Amino acid sequence: WIQVMEGLGQEVAERLKSVYGIDLQ
């Protein structure tokens, strides 16, 4: 799962951060 998130990583993280205010870093 972690490696999948690293693959999608930046795009998903920025989208989550934009929409939900979540910072996965």
Token pair recorded at residue 5 = 């998130």
Domain around 6:
1-25
User: pLDDT tens, 1-25?
Assistant: 677 767 677 888 788 788 887 665 5
What span, in angstroms and rounded, lies between the C-alpha atoms of 24 and 7? Answer: 13
pTM: 0.40
pLDDT for res 22: 65
- Count how many domains the chain has: 1
